[in-house]
């Protein structure tokens, strides 16, 4: 006989349907209280980085790789105020990077030390700023120093910081701009929290750190156009940061409030101001009579928008030519490489390999300079990216999101046009974010010191030992590869020991 279940009375509610919960949003960690000590340690790291890269900076005295373009153009900027249009060259990058190289030439003369010294300074600045950015993202002075130290011990960063190319300036401007924007995020969040629970937004007023970020992003674009990707990606992210701050404060419509209170200022600081900064880098071009394309509008008066001043129309036309050049650059090159290979040091660039050198006994001597990343650091970039994705999905970690946005802006965007000729030094501006990805993975190896998931003291000791061991391995690898980063004399056998993959030859 069937047993019938009793009917529910109207007062009895049906069992609630279980809805999967979203992972809890991790809050931005508070900064440590060791402000003065952290600055001292970052300065010590900066000095060590500067000194290690300064030694024998002028070797070799010849122009290396694309130094064939930028130091001569920088010398022209120093002499004329702009790159002189000789009729047989085609300038394809904005002038700011060459202006910075010109500063070194002005100080030390038109030689290898003079045109490489600005790169040395920019690379050192990038290491120090990365250490500060890592500290703010992780809430740990130790982990911030780990990030800076990994950058200082990277062979690619070391080499890029000792050669007169543009990419190290792009790196310094990008990481500095992002650091300023992260400070702005924390300052705004602190101001909103200080007001307590809110029912509506309020005017935030001028945001100096965001304005500084806009200027620095404009400078990055004034070195190379790839800086524009970082500006666009982080400008959008900053609006989401504003929304999160209003949401945490209890504002009923955080999206509307973020747009109302944040978008007008962002349009100025991260829209118009970078454009004005970028245009300011062309001051010498505007003033020059023989600068490339300066009088195109005078020679072509019947164009659209004739009411726009001729110099601006000429500049716009030149930028169109640059864009066509970069999109169509597909000439094969023996040292070209694709972005998928950059993560594993697939095709580093040979910068120097003089032939016919022998020692006193007549044996072959090799003086090789290879732009190669420290393998024990670079080979963990891909696993670190996967761990980054896990932190975003499982924890909604703001530090991981920030790093992922930087990687997307500086690495994924190169997949848009895979037919283009590319080189590994295009990794320079995104390298700090890959290093931060490794640092966040090391943070989980170390174990958290606070919070509900804090590690036990024994677990922390084991984690600290593992992190220290990894840093030691990276440092020893850097020392091992140092001779092929600086062109030190090696025997053939010693040189072969450092050529780990066939694609390095």
Q: Is the dihedral of CA 379, 383, 387, 388 positive or negative?
A: positive
- pLDDT of 300 strictly over 90: no
113/26 Cα distance (integer angstroms): 47
Partners of residue 358 on adjacent β-strands: 364
Q: Is the dihedral of CA 136, 142, 143, 148 positive or negative?
A: positive
The residue among 97, 37, 42 whose CA lies nearest residue 73 is 97
For residue 423, the 8-state DSSP code is -
Is there a contact between 142 and 467 (Cβ–Cβ < 8 Å)?
Answer: no
Partners of residue 490 on adjacent β-strands: 366
Is there a contact between 29 and 451 (Cβ–Cβ < 8 Å)?
Answer: no
331/376 Cα distance (integer angstroms): 32
* Confidence label for 17 from pLDDT (cuts 50, 70 and 90): low
Domain chopping of the chain, boundaries? 35-298+311-498
Q: How far is CA 203 from CA 200, 210, 257, in A?
A: 10, 15, 10
Q: What are the tens digits of pLDDT across the range 62-88?
A: 999 999 999 999 999 999 888 876 655
137/140 Cα distance (integer angstroms): 8
Buried b (16+ CB within 10 A) or exposed e, 131-162: bbbbbbbbbbbbbbbbbbbbbbbbbbbbbbbb
Is there a contact between 222 and 95 (Cβ–Cβ < 8 Å)?
Answer: yes
Length of the chain: 505
Tell me the helices (H) and strands (E) count for the chain, helix number first.
Answer: 21, 2
Is there a contact between 222 and 100 (Cβ–Cβ < 8 Å)?
Answer: no
Q: Is the dihedral of CA 493, 494, 498, 499 positive or negative?
A: negative
Buried b (16+ CB within 10 A) or exposed e, 239-258: bbbbbbbbbbbebeebeebb
For residue 105, the 8-state DSSP code is H
* Confidence label for 459 from pLDDT (cuts 50, 70 and 90): confident
* Confidence label for 458 from pLDDT (cuts 50, 70 and 90): confident
Is there a contact between 194 and 165 (Cβ–Cβ < 8 Å)?
Answer: no
369-371 and 349-352 beta bridge pairing = antiparallel
The pLDDT value given to residue 304: 76
Whether the model clears a pTM of 0.85, i.e. scores above it, the answer is yes
160/169 Cα distance (integer angstroms): 10
Partners of residue 370 on adjacent β-strands: 350
The pLDDT value given to residue 452: 67
The residue among 417, 429, 231, 415 whose CA lies nearest residue 325 is 417
- pLDDT of 333 strictly over 60: yes
- pLDDT of 2 strictly over 50: no
Question: What tokens appear for 326 in the block?
Answer: 């970069």
Partners of residue 291 on adjacent β-strands: 84
Contacts of 147 (CB under 8 A, 6+ apart): 130, 131, 133, 134, 432, 435, 436, 439
The pLDDT value given to residue 19: 46
440/442 Cα distance (integer angstroms): 5
| Collapsed DSSP state (helix, strand, coil) of residue 84 | strand
The pLDDT value given to residue 134: 97
What's the chain's average pLDDT?
A: 91
Mean pLDDT calculated for residue range 440-451: 86
Mean pLDDT calculated for residue range 461-489: 96
Q: Which residue has the tokens 């130094």?
A: 67
- pLDDT of 27 strictly over 80: no
Q: What are phi and psi of 388, to 5 degrees?
A: -60, -45
366/492 Cα distance (integer angstroms): 7
251/349 Cα distance (integer angstroms): 53
Partners of residue 364 on adjacent β-strands: 358
Instruction: Give the E-state strand segments of 216-353 in sequence order.
Output: 349-352
Q: What are the tens digits of pLDDT across the range 206-222?
A: 899 999 999 999 999 99
* Confidence label for 305 from pLDDT (cuts 50, 70 and 90): confident
Contacts of 401 (CB under 8 A, 6+ apart): 237, 392
Mean pLDDT calculated for residue range 132-153: 97
Query: What DSSP line would sit under 23-77, residue for residue?
Result: PPPPPPPPPPS-HHHHHHHHHHHHHHHHHHHHTTTT-S-S--GGGGTHHHHHHHH
Percent with pLDDT over 70 in the chain:
93
407/38 Cα distance (integer angstroms): 26
The pLDDT value given to residue 25: 60
């Amino acid at each position: 006989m069937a047993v019938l279940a009793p009917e529910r009375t109207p007062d009895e509610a049906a069992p609630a349907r279980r809805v999967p919960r979203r992972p809890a949003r991790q809050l931005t960690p508070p900064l440590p209280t060791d402000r003065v000590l952290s600055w001292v340690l970052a300065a010590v790291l900066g000095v060590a980085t500067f000194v290690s890269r300064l030694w024998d900076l002028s070797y070799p005295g010849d122009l290396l790789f694309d130094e064939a373009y930028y130091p001569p153009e920088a010398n022209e900027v120093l002499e004329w105020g702009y790159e002189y249009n000789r009729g047989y060259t085609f300038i394809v990058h904005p002038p700011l990077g060459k202006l910075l190289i010109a500063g070194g030439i002005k100080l030390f003369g038109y030689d290898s030390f003079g045109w490489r010294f600005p790169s040395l300074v920019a690379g050192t600045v990038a290491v120090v700023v990365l250490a500060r950015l890592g500290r703010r993202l992780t809430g740990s002075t130790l982990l911030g120093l780990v990030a800076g130290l990994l950058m200082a011990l990277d062979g690619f960063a070391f080499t890029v910081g000792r050669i007169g190319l543009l990419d190290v300036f792009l790196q310094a401007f990008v990481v500095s701009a992002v650091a300023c924007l992260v400070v702005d995020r924390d300052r705004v969040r602190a101001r909103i929290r200080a007001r307590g629970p809110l029912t509506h937004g309020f005017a935030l007023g001028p945001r100096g750190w965001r304005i500084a970020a806009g200027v620095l992003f404009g400078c990055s674009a004034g070195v190379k156009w790839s800086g524009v990707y970082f500006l666009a990606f982080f400008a959008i992210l900053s609006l989401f940061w504003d929304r999160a701050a209003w949401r945490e404060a209890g504002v009923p419509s955080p999206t509307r409030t973020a747009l109302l209170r944040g978008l007008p200022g962002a349009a100025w600081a991260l829209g118009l101001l970078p454009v004005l900064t970028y245009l300011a880098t062309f001051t010498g071009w505007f003033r020059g009579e023989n600068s490339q394309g300066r009088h195109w509008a005078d020679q072509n008066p019947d164009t659209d928008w004739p009411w726009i001043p001729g110099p601006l129309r000429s500049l716009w036309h030149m930028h169109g030519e640059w864009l066509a050049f970069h999109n169509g650059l597909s000439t094969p090159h023996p040292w070209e490489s694709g972005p998928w290979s950059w993560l594993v040091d697939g095709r580093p660039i040979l910068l120097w390999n003089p032939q016919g050198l022998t020692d006193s006994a007549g044996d072959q001597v090799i003086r090789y300079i290879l732009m190669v990343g420290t393998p024990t650091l670079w080979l963990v970039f891909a696993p670190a990216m996967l761990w980054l994705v896990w932190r975003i999905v499982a924890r909604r970690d703001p530090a991981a999101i920030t790093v992922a946005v930087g990687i997307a802006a500086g690495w994924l965007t190169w997949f848009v046009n895979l037919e283009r000729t590319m080189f590994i030094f295009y990794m320079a501006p995104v390298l700090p974010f890959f290093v931060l990805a490794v640092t966040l993975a090391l943070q989980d190896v170390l174990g958290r010191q606070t919070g509900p998931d804090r590690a036990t003291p024994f677990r922390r000791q084991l984690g600290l030992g593992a992190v220290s061991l990894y840093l030691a391995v990276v440092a020893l690898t850097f020392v091992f590869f140092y001779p092929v980063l600086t062109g030190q004399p090696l025997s053939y056998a010693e040189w072969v020991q450092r050529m780990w993959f066939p694609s390095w030859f």
